[in-house]
Structure 1
Amino acid sequence: MHRKHRIHPLIDCLWSDHKSGKLSRREFLRFAALLGLATTTASHLFQLAIPGHAMGAVYGQKLRIAGLLPESEHPVENVSIPASQVLRQVAEYLTYTDKNNITHPFLLDRWVVSEDLRIWSLHLKKNIFFNNGQAFTADDVIFSIEQWLSPDINSPMKSILGDCLTPSGIRKIDSHLVVLYLSRPELELPEKLFHPSAMILNHRTFEGNFMEAPHGTGPFRIEKFEKNIRCLLKRRYDYWQPGLPFLNEIEFLDLGRNVSSRVTALKSGTVDLIDLSDTGSSDAYSALKNDRNIRLTPVLTAKANVLRMRVDREPWNDNRVRSALKLCQHRNKIRYLAHNGQGAIGNDFHVCPAHPEYCEKKTIKFDPRRAKSLLEEAGYENGLDIHLTIAEGKPDIRTQALVLQNDAARAGFRIHLQEVPGHEYHRNRTKFDLGITPWAHYPLGVTALKLAGAVDEQGNPGPWNETRWVNEEFSQLLRQAGNTLDVLERKALFCKLEKIQMNQGAVGIPCWQNSYIASRKRVQNIQPHPNDYLFLNKVWLKPGKK
């Protein structure tokens, strides 16, 4: 099983499906990469250029970034993207999922997977060292995975991997080979190893607080950290990627939650780049789109402001009422007014065009007349009073709510808008009868579907299932899709899942949002990521005027 460069038999099937037109090039690359096909081999098949170092890159200089700077003591527990931005420059992941949802080895040299997708051999790169000089080995990988799965640590990775992997399923073969024995087939394991909380820790020095021993394999080291104020990173000259990084220093500055403060700092040249991972990008886009000194680089994401309804409470237990309100979403109007016309139209299911599982469907039309008919059919001939709760300080969400309030009146909905502090909405988001919740980007549609329709072993709604919507057919198909190895069969199952959620579900998703990298034009080789992650090891600055 450990024979070098063994090709998984399913890759031949994928190639045949691609050649016959059943799989796109992107779909082939994505699934072939998950099955362990090297990027160089895949690139050769399509005669693609393999990205290398930036041509003409200049070494030195300091990159200044404005955003938030909360402290994350235990990276394994981290769910905050702003908190992980600093850590991401210091500690690293076993894999890397790019903006096209193709996953590559990173600290891994490669992986080899058994035919039944239950045994994963993780081959580590050699000659990698932590910034305290200690070697990266299999012991660090095993220690980190055990941290993810520990019952004493509140890690998202426990939910992501805990249903198919236990500590007893982790085996060290030698200093640079770890084998995982899963309890069920799992095609997406490499993508799951790229979760924000899946950073690899130094097993010799980590004792629960990363800032006390900030030892990672990344291109920078922490020189000084002041929570909610400033963090200074300095270049490692012994980094394992030859010739990298280009920057000498990176300075993160906490300018608070007000996006306008960051925008002002960027326009004035006080900072070179702003981090928008904690807020919507629409305000920044509006303020910066006409500035000739600024570059806005977009990427389509699965981020969305989700209209969600509690189906265990009236009137949302009636699908006719849910469908009526969803028909009152003027999708294009919401996209233009709330998101500057950027992004893509949604169809009320948690899979977007950027996801590999996406099935294209005809856009649901704005139809207040049909909505009014459904309300009457449900017994609300005189219309219906409903209360919509949203978080304060979210202009895009407020605009979406006001558009819906105005347009739904034509169908007989009288929407009473209630705004609450952001922290209160987040804490109580599962308790509101009707609300609009911002959802982050997930690289896989299956992850979002599992969260949105999550049920426990008894069939009860899971903690992330804020609508309390449970559909037996949906849950069964989702389990079946997870255990289906044939790519085309999986795709057909996801098409059914999306149709069920679109027609019977309890969410309205009028549009998907873009994310942006907002930087001064002197910043070179910065790439946007749909998760808003910042990767700065290949970034450099043009000398001269800021």
Structure 2
Amino acid sequence: MMTTKIHPAVNDLKSDMEKGKLSRREFLRLSTLLGVSAFTATQMAGLSWVKSAAAGSVKRGGTLKIATALQKISHPSAYSWLGGANVTRQVAEYLTLTDNKNITHPYLLKNWLASDDLKTWTLNLRKGIKFNNGDIFNADDVIFTFNQWLDEKVGSSLKGLIGSYLDPTGLERINDFQVKLHLKRPEIGIPEHLFQFTAQVLNHRTFEGDFLKAPHGTGPYTLERYSEGEIAVIKARKDYWQKGVDGKPLPYLDEMQFIDMGTESAPMIAALSSGDVDFIDMADRGGNDIFQALKNHPEIQIKSAPTASARVLRMRVDMKPWDSEKVRLALKKCHNHEKLLALCYMGEGLEGQDFHVYPLHPEYCKMPVPAYDPQGAKKLLAEAGYPDGLTVNLAVGSGWPDVVKYAEVLKQDAIPGGFKINIQTMPTSQYWEKWTEVDLGITPWTHRPLGTIVLNLAYKGDDTGKPVSWNESRWVDKEFSEILEQANGTLDVEKRRKLFCKLQKIQYDRGSIAIGYWLAVWMIARKNVKGIQGHPNAHMLFNEVSLA
């Protein structure tokens, strides 16, 4: 990934690291975003490079069976849940890859180069890569895919993220294997944005809106079958561009089968325990009940990763009573974060703080966990015109046991604060159909490696002021948006952290969410599955997974 020019800010980052103002982890993350290879950045940080496994330790062949829930899929750019992406990511790939340590690497890209002002990004593509139908991957596919993300009619979450700094007119095709992005404002997070789960690269010659009708990707597998609610089958290609440690094309497996087992945990636990399946896809699940049931099983391995995944209680600010800042703050004050983490997730995570920035995000501004304050909540409700309290409905998906428990604990703890909460449970698939529409709900949000990413995805408006597609609460705050735009283009971590102190306070004081707790995330498989690594998003990066 090393370019002919190192971005001038890299030396400043290295100096900050040496002065103790920046951790090695933060240096690795930021320097790789600016185009330094992971190998070089590791050396600059004074760390050793981990070598790959030896060829003799890998066995080829076999079928990996995965317990999951298969929902309807069509356009990868418009996914709103991770499970579908975990199937199609084996077939279609990404321009970049953010690993289990939150370091971003080139993938379909050979490398990238950012201008000094972070407003022009040159993307250099790998050559010699083919789609599974024989078409050559080139710049036309990249530009086509970007345009899908930016198309209002597609409804991609990336429209809100990438569209805030890039218009279709800013895409420039230099040649078959180079594309330039001309941005409306500075942005450091582009390489990580290109690995959002909705960012799978599409074949411009064959894709017409439904991936199942033309499942042509550059990945190591071909999609043989996808039956919603039943099974998905993918089979290994013979001509994939990546090589294994034995010098032969990946993948090591012959086949993967994704078996729909619904959203209840018990059947999945039983199937993994008996060996009927090899792996449980945890991408759209909390998984604490599965973890607790299997953590001491002698035939099971569990891999974990630090994560910014959370359960987000969100309030639609365009609907009463949530249009009142005082009512929203009152419900936040009914959160006992320590109790929620203990009862809902067995303490396996961190307490939330009612703003969507995780303590391990590099720009996080340290703040105390808000206190449980039901009397303060009751006072705010009275000031908002509800002296006798308020009855509200709370929508939750029944397939997330910890979310249901969150609702039950909050219901009880909110009574002294003046709230009567009616819990409306529904199948998880039904919740995903209406997750942006309910007035009050608890939505699972997956990990993002930078605080700026999730804030741009969920808490701002587009150029016209309209909430972006994943702004489920419809909250758009002018001051918040202006400070966020500053943060997007601020490379200096300390300066960005000062901006985040303001962003976090605004989101707590007058924002539209509460976060009870941050989740631990696990990858859970039988011990005969080799090459599994924990990932903060529970992404199944299985090119090099094998069976013993």
Instruction: State the TM-score, normalizing by the size of structure 2.
Output: 0.90
1:41 is the counterpart of 2:40: yes
Cα deviation code 1:150-173 (max 9, x no counterpart): 455333333332233233322232
Distance of aligned partners of 1:456 and 1:202 in 2 relative to their CA distance in 1, 3 Å threshold: closer
Q: 2: distance between equivalents of 1:329 and 1:173?
A: 53
Q: 2: distance between equivalents of 1:376 and 1:458?
A: 35
Cα deviation code 1:68-106 (max 9, x no counterpart): 234534333333322222211122111011233221111
Give how far 1:40 is off: 1.5
Q: Which residue of 1 aligns with 2:497?
A: 491
Q: 1: distance between equivalents of 2:82 and 2:527?
A: 24
Give how far 1:230 is off: 2.6
Give how far 1:10 is off: 1.1
Amino acid at match of 2:267: S
Give the 5 Å matches for 1:423-442.
425-429=431-435, 432-442=438-448
Q: 2: distance between equivalents of 1:392 and 1:150?
A: 30
Residue of structure 1 aligned with 2:395, choices 374, 383, 390 = 390
Q: 2: distance between equivalents of 1:416 and 1:212?
A: 42
Q: Which residue of 1 aligns with 2:197?
A: 196
Q: Which residue of 2 aligns with 1:85?
A: 86
Contact 2:155 2:469 (C-alpha < 8 Å) held by counterparts: no
Amino acid at match of 2:480: F
Where 1:18 maps in the other structure, the secondary structure is: helix
1:480 is the counterpart of 2:490: no
After alignment, is 111-120 or 389-398 more displaced?
389-398
Amino acid at match of 1:38: S
After alignment, is 233-242 or 260-269 more displaced?
233-242
Q: 2: distance between equivalents of 1:274 and 1:300?
A: 19
Distance of aligned partners of 1:519 and 1:118 in 2 relative to their CA distance in 1, 3 Å threshold: same
1:163 is the counterpart of 2:164: yes
Give how far 1:497 is off: 0.4
Q: 2: distance between equivalents of 1:469 and 1:172?
A: 36
Contact 1:137 1:176 (C-alpha < 8 Å) held by counterparts: yes
Q: Which residue of 2 aligns with 1:183?
A: 184
Give the 5 Å matches for 1:267-306.
267-306=273-312
Give the 5 Å matches for 1:63-462.
63-70=64-71, 72-243=73-244, 244-311=250-317, 316-372=322-378, 374=380, 384-393=389-398, 394-420=400-426, 422=428, 425-429=431-435, 432-457=438-463, 459=465, 461-462=467-468
Give how far 1:266 is off: 0.8
After alignment, is 209-218 or 349-358 more displaced?
209-218
Amino acid at match of 1:435: G
Give how far 1:7 is off: 0.7
Give how far 1:235 is off: 2.5
Q: 2: distance between equivalents of 1:208 and 1:414?
A: 44
Contact 1:454 1:464 (C-alpha < 8 Å) held by counterparts: no
Instruction: State percent identity of aligned pairs.
Output: 46
Give the 5 Å matches for 1:533-544.
533-542=539-548
Contact 1:53 1:538 (C-alpha < 8 Å) held by counterparts: no
Q: 1: distance between equivalents of 2:515 and 2:526?
A: 33
Give how far 1:115 is off: 0.9
Distance of aligned partners of 1:204 and 1:414 in 2 relative to their CA distance in 1, 3 Å threshold: closer
The size of the alignment, in residue pairs, is 539
Contact 1:349 1:508 (C-alpha < 8 Å) held by counterparts: yes
After alignment, is 153-162 or 460-469 more displaced?
460-469
Q: 1: distance between equivalents of 2:505 and 2:8?
A: 31
Q: 2: distance between equivalents of 1:306 and 1:165?
A: 28
Gaps of 5+ in 2: 245-249
Contact 2:394 2:407 (C-alpha < 8 Å) held by counterparts: no
1:23 is the counterpart of 2:22: yes
Q: CA RMSD in A?
A: 2.7
Contact 1:390 1:398 (C-alpha < 8 Å) held by counterparts: no
Contact 1:300 1:512 (C-alpha < 8 Å) held by counterparts: no
Give how far 1:347 is off: 0.4
After alignment, is 203-212 or 485-494 more displaced?
203-212
Distance of aligned partners of 1:149 and 1:375 in 2 relative to their CA distance in 1, 3 Å threshold: closer
Where 1:89 maps in the other structure, the secondary structure is: coil
Q: 2: distance between equivalents of 1:399 and 1:497?
A: 29
After alignment, is 55-64 or 305-314 more displaced?
305-314
Q: Which residue of 2 aligns with 1:506?
A: 512
Cα deviation code 1:430-469 (max 9, x no counterpart): 5555433333333332232234432344656555444444
Cα deviation code 1:498-525 (max 9, x no counterpart): 1221233232112011222111111122
Distance of aligned partners of 1:185 and 1:445 in 2 relative to their CA distance in 1, 3 Å threshold: same
Q: 2: distance between equivalents of 1:462 and 1:260?
A: 37
Distance of aligned partners of 1:204 and 1:505 in 2 relative to their CA distance in 1, 3 Å threshold: closer
Where 1:115 maps in the other structure, the secondary structure is: coil
Give how far 1:342 is off: 0.8
Cα deviation code 1:255-309 (max 9, x no counterpart): 2233322222111100100112233212322322232221222223332222233
Q: 2: distance between equivalents of 1:98 and 1:88?
A: 14
Distance of aligned partners of 1:197 and 1:471 in 2 relative to their CA distance in 1, 3 Å threshold: closer
Where 1:279 maps in the other structure, the secondary structure is: coil
Contact 1:100 1:354 (C-alpha < 8 Å) held by counterparts: no
Q: 2: distance between equivalents of 1:360 and 1:329?
A: 19
Contact 1:387 1:418 (C-alpha < 8 Å) held by counterparts: no
Gaps of 5+ in 1: none
Amino acid at match of 1:447: I
Q: 2: distance between equivalents of 1:313 and 1:70?
A: 29
Q: 1: distance between equivalents of 2:176 and 2:283?
A: 37
Amino acid at match of 2:294: L
Q: 2: distance between equivalents of 1:203 and 1:463?
A: 24
Contact 1:385 1:413 (C-alpha < 8 Å) held by counterparts: yes
Give how far 1:346 is off: 0.8
Contact 1:324 1:374 (C-alpha < 8 Å) held by counterparts: yes
Q: 1: distance between equivalents of 2:67 and 2:329?
A: 42
Q: 2: distance between equivalents of 1:208 and 1:426?
A: 20
Give how far 1:107 is off: 1.2
Q: 2: distance between equivalents of 1:27 and 1:99?
A: 14
Contact 1:310 1:468 (C-alpha < 8 Å) held by counterparts: yes
